[in-house]
Amino acid sequence: MSNVNVLNQIFIIYFGIIAGFVFRKLKVLTEERTSALSAIVVNIVLPFYIFSAILRTDAGVDAKGVLVTLGLSTGFFLVCGLIGIVVTALLRPKKEDRGVYLFELMCSNVAYIGIPVCGAVLGETGRFYGALLNIPYNLICFSLGIFLLAGRMPLKKILNPVFITGLIAAVLFMLKVPVPELVLDGCAFIGQATSPCAMFIIGSALGGIPIRELFTEWRVIPYLILRLFGLAAIIAALLSFVPVDETLKGMLILMAALPAATNSTMLCTIYGGNRALSAKLIFLSTALCGITIPLWAALYFKV
């Protein structure tokens, strides 16, 4: 696939964020409506997206490949988390901001940008691997993630709809249980609302921040360097010692090079937390990924 496909996908993301920003300024998206939309995406729309992404695939991956992917994906987040702990300590942000920086270093935008980009760069198998990575991601996001962002961890949220549906889809895939195409079409139809709604939420959050405040946090600069370059380079170096499918390696490298995870803004909206800082990291890293992701694709994947 060409870099044009990647850039098209990123442009669509920008368009959604700008639309959300405009809707907030026009008071179509108020604070209350943004919170309600966040809850709908997290609890209803995203589970359908993940379910269909895993089961609607022609990827030639067997049960062993699924387990290997889940294992490496879990290790991927552990490595990013350990790096995030060290870097956050060096950056020395305010106490209430530490969790946001750590979360956004550990987790990238693996669903809304990650799955489409992996499909554009690596093909159908890459998209499938990317969907599987979202299973451990959502377990981490809705447990440790909530704790980092909001300072509390509602245990009942660990077994959330996204994690449960992703796990069910992976088991069905490994056992080769047929799911009616009509059901998968319905799930895909609902799941299509995931990306635009998520971008509206980010744009709405940005709409509540004075523009000048986007560029007042110096720690954002080293964060962006690590988020868009450093983590992917470290993951690529570590994977050079792991004898697994090159497409799987490519998926993990691409996921490490993605911008900040958009779920953080939604979770801060629902559970409390520094939503303004989260939106800043998402906006700036997403703005720059239009340069960095095609660069990674050109240098590493030769597309």
Q: 3-14 pLDDT, tens per residue?
A: 566 667 677 777
Residue 210 Ramachandran class (φ > 0 left, ψ -120 to 50 alpha, else beta): beta
Q: Is residue 204 included in any domain, yes or no?
A: yes
Q: Which domain holds residue 25?
A: 3-296
Q: Is residue 171 included in any domain, yes or no?
A: yes
pLDDT score recorded for residue 114? 84
Residue type, 65: G
Q: Which of 62-71, 101-110, 237-246 has the lowest mean pLDDT?
A: 62-71
Q: How far apart are CA 274 and CA 144, in angstroms?
A: 16
Closest-CA residue to 148 (of 285, 36, 264): 264
Mean pLDDT is highest, among 3-12, 178-187, 289-298, for 178-187
Neighbouring C-beta atoms of residue 282, cutoff 10 Å: 26
pLDDT score recorded for residue 3? 56
Mean pLDDT is highest, among 96-110, 112-126, 268-282, for 96-110
How many residues are present in the chain? Answer: 303
Confidence of residue 87 (pLDDT cuts 50, 70, 90): very high
Structurally, the chain folds into a number of domains equal to 1
CATH of the domain at 66: 1.20.1530.20
Q: Is residue 125 included in any domain, yes or no?
A: yes
Average pLDDT rounded to a whole number, residues 116-139: 83
* 303 or 35: which leads in pLDDT: 35
CB 212 within 8 A of CB 233: no
pLDDT score recorded for residue 174? 80
- Is residue 1 scored above 60 in pLDDT? no
Closest-CA residue to 47 (of 128, 138, 125, 176): 138
- Is residue 2 scored above 60 in pLDDT? no
Q: pLDDT tens, 156-171? A: 666 778 778 888 988 8
Neighbouring C-beta atoms of residue 288, cutoff 10 Å: 16
Neighbouring C-beta atoms of residue 18, cutoff 10 Å: 13
- Model-level pTM? 0.80
- Is residue 58 scored above 70 in pLDDT? no
Q: What angle do CA 248, 250, 255 make, to 5 degrees?
A: 100
Q: Is residue 303 included in any domain, yes or no?
A: no
Q: Is residue 255 included in any domain, yes or no?
A: yes
pLDDT score recorded for residue 301? 64
Angle at which helices 115-122 and 246-256 pack, to 10 degrees? 140
DSSP of 232-281: HHHHHHHHTTS-S-HHHHHHHHHHHTS-B-THHHHHHHHH-S-HHHHHHH
* 34 or 222: which leads in pLDDT: 222
Q: Is residue 151 included in any domain, yes or no?
A: yes
Q: How far apart are CA 250 and CA 300, in angstroms?
A: 8
Q: What is the dihedral of CA 243, 74, 205, 257, to 10 degrees?
A: -20
pLDDT score recorded for residue 86? 95
Residue 177 Ramachandran class (φ > 0 left, ψ -120 to 50 alpha, else beta): beta
Q: Is residue 237 included in any domain, yes or no?
A: yes
- Is residue 180 scored above 70 in pLDDT? yes
Structure tokens at 136: 């451990």
Q: Is residue 190 included in any domain, yes or no?
A: yes
- Is residue 78 scored above 60 in pLDDT? yes
Q: How many CA atoms lie within 13 A of 1 on its CB side?
A: 20
Residue type, 188: A
Confidence of residue 284 (pLDDT cuts 50, 70, 90): confident
